[in-house]
Amino acid sequence: MNLTLESANQQVVVDRQQEHLLELRSVSKFFEVGTRPISNRRVLNDVTFDLSAGEFVSIIGPSGCGKSTLLNLISGLDEAFTGDISYSETTGSRLGHISYMQQKDLLLPWRNVLNNAALSLELRGVSRDESLARASTRLGEFGLADHANDYPAQLSGGMRQRVALLRATLADTPLLLLDEPFGALDALTRSEMHGWLIGLLANSGKAVILVTHDVDEAILLSDRVYVMKSDPGRIASQFDVEIGERTDHGVVTSEAFTALKATFLAALRSDDDSGEAK
């Protein structure tokens, strides 16, 4: 009796074992708007996609189409939605298992750069000294070595974003959600950060979902790009990006890149989203 039950359980486990790191199935989200009568506004409609370990996907779409809302659902912050999100790391709450760099930098004004970055380690039970030591070895990569003791109020917008990014990556989870992480950076620093991100992710096995408004950035960094449309927010089309070696800066001007960018902009502009361009 016991034996059969055990083997049955094993069977279930094998069945459940998903090959993807993250799976979204028909995810829809409503927000209640107005007061008396309260009406439901559909902000996300039937979002379905898969993400494998180590994959880099970008989400691009107009302002207000629900990109941040989608990341809030994936991160586990918002559990009020219909459909199904499954994450291979845990069947419970995804909070603490997915690093999420939100659109706002959300730095604590009473902590200096080093202490802000170390927060993610501290909250995972790493001792304070150890957290600070580990965070400080990473400051250099983020161009923050000279600012370890500065407070957020003293930093530029771009620096604040880099601190927030460092904080998110220090948590060291298999999935990283980035909501317009380079929005406040100048072109040069942005390109530096791209190079750095590519370096960090290479062979790390980490998967990334990047929300961006920058088509170049999406093509440069991603294995796959999803284009979203609004009202209701939905995935209108998806593109696989195959443009060769990413560390190569020449890629931005390559022919394949330019061609892809053209298709892309067309997809963003087009009103009809029936065709899955590929």
Partner 1 sequence: MASARSVSLPSIMNIAREWLPPLAIGALGIIAWEVWVRAFDVQRWLLPPPSSIINEIVDSRGLLTEHAFITLQEIVIGFALAAGFGALLASAIAYSKILERSLYPFVIASQMIPIITIAPLLLVWVGPAMTSKIIVVGLISFFPIVVNLVDGMKSVDQDMVDMFRTLGASKRQIFLKLQIPTAIPFLMSGLKIGVVVAVIGAVIGEWVGATGGLGWLMRLSAPQFLTARVFAAIVVLTVMGVILFAIVGLIERMVLKRYPRMN
Ligand X SMILES: Nc1ncnc2c1ncn2[C@@H]1O[C@H](COP(=O)(O)OP(=O)(O)OP(=O)(O)O)[C@@H](O)[C@H]1O
Residues making contact with ligand X (CB under 6 A) = 31, 33, 43, 63-69, 103
Closest contact distance (angstroms) between CB of 67 and Mg ion is: 5
Comparison of 138 and 213: residue with beta carbon closer to ligand X = 213
Q: Which does 138 bind (CB under 5 to 8 A by kind): partner 1, Mg ion, ligand X, none?
A: none
Closest CB to ligand X among residues 52, 68 = 68
CB of 64 to ligand X, least distance (A): 4
Q: Report how far residue 180's alpha carbon sits from residue 31's, in angstroms, rounded to the nearest whole number.
A: 23
Dihedral angle of Cα 123, 128, 129, 135, to the nearest 10 degrees = 40
Distance CA 230, CA 24 (A): 19
| Nearest distance in Å: CB 43, partner 1 | 17
Q: How far is the CB of 189 from partner 1 (least distance, A)?
A: 23
Smaller CB separation from partner 1, 120 or 212: 120
Give the HSE-up count for residue 263: Cα atoms under 13 Å, Cβ half-sphere.
18
Longest dimension (CA), the chain: 68
Query: Residue with structure tokens 């998967």?
Result: 207
Secondary structure tally for the chain: helices H, strands E = 8, 9
How many Å apart are CA 254 and CA 164, to the nearest integer? 32
Closer CB to partner 1, 1 or 153, in the complex: 153
Using CB under 8 A as the criterion, which residues of the chain lie in contact with partner 1 when the complex forms? 72, 75-77, 95-100, 102, 104, 106, 108-110, 119-120, 122-124, 153, 167, 171
Strands 234-240 and 207-212 come out as unpaired
Q: How far apart are CA 211 and CA 75, in angstroms?
A: 14
Q: Which is nearer to ligand X, 67 or 194 (CB)?
A: 67
Query: What residue type is assigned to position 154 of the chain?
Result: Q
For the CA atoms of 66, 208, 259, 247, the dihedral, rounded to the nearest 10 degrees, stands at 150
Alpha helices in the chain (DSSP H): 2-16, 67-75, 113-123, 128-138, 157-170, 187-201, 215-221, 255-269
Q: In the set 28, 52, 68, 136, which binds Mg ion (CB under 5 A)?
A: 68
Give me the least distance between CB of 195 and partner 1, in Å please. Answer: 26
Nearer to ligand X by C-beta: 45 or 131?
A: 45
Q: Which of 265, 273, 180, 261 is nearest to 229 (CA)?
A: 273
Smallest gap, in angstroms, from Cβ of residue 267 to partner 1?
Answer: 31
Q: Which is nearer to partner 1, 83 or 96 (CB)?
A: 96
Q: Count residues contacting Mg ion (CB under 5 A)?
A: 2
Per-residue contact string for residues 98-127; x = within reach of Mg ion by CB under 5 A: -----x------------------------
Residues near Mg ion (CB under 5 A):
68, 103
